[in-house]
Amino acid sequence: MAFQAQGEDDAAMSEINVTPLVDVMLVLLIVFIVTAPLLSNAVHVNLPKTAETAPPEEKKAVDVSVDAQGKVYIDKLEVTVEGLESELKVRKTSDPELALHLHADEGVNYGIVAKVMSGIERAGVTKLSVLTLVQ
């Protein structure tokens, strides 16, 4: 609560006192100037020179698809649900790090997808991605 002396008029003060603002800004500037060198605390080392190497080859994953009619495809090659396991075992012997992407139509019976996933597991494939559409 502010006290007024008698005789002062009630006119509002129309000037902004910028002195506190300038004081705060100068303090912040000094703080940033002091702390900026401390932010880069990396240890400088001399790295050894080596020969360039090629990046490792990225292997493309095999696509296993189940369409709306329940037909199973391995990379666009139609196989039966029963023949899926043997085909994947052959591919697994040639590539022990075999990765699969499973695409299943939303209208397909879940039992067929479960049989496909069971065949994939029996074939010894451990890298399986079930792909869906994100909307």
pTM attached to this predicted model: 0.57
pLDDT value, residue 124: 92
Whether 113 is covered by a domain: the verdict is: yes
The CA–CA distances, whole Å, from 7 to 11, 12, 15, 24 equal 12, 15, 21, 35
Give 133 or 98, the one with higher predicted confidence.
98
pLDDT value, residue 39: 76
Domain that holds residue 72: 62-131
The CA–CA distances, whole Å, from 35 to 25, 44, 128 equal 15, 19, 49
Residue 117 belongs to domain with CATH number: 3.30.420.270
Instruction: Read off the pLDDT band of 15 (50, 70, 90).
Output: confident
Whether 39 is covered by a domain: the verdict is: no
pLDDT at residue 2 is higher than 70 = no
- What percentage of the chain exceeds 90 in pLDDT? 52
| Contact between 59 and 99 (Cβ < 8 Å) | yes
Whether 52 is covered by a domain: the verdict is: no
Whether 35 is covered by a domain: the verdict is: no
pLDDT value, residue 52: 85
Instruction: Read off the pLDDT band of 135 (50, 70, 90).
Output: low
Distance separating alpha carbons of residues 15 and 133, to the nearest angstrom = 61
The pair of three-digit structure tokens given for residue 21, joined into one six-digit string: 């603002």
Mean pLDDT of 70-92: 92
| Contact between 76 and 114 (Cβ < 8 Å) | no
| Contact between 26 and 32 (Cβ < 8 Å) | no
Number of domains in the chain: 1
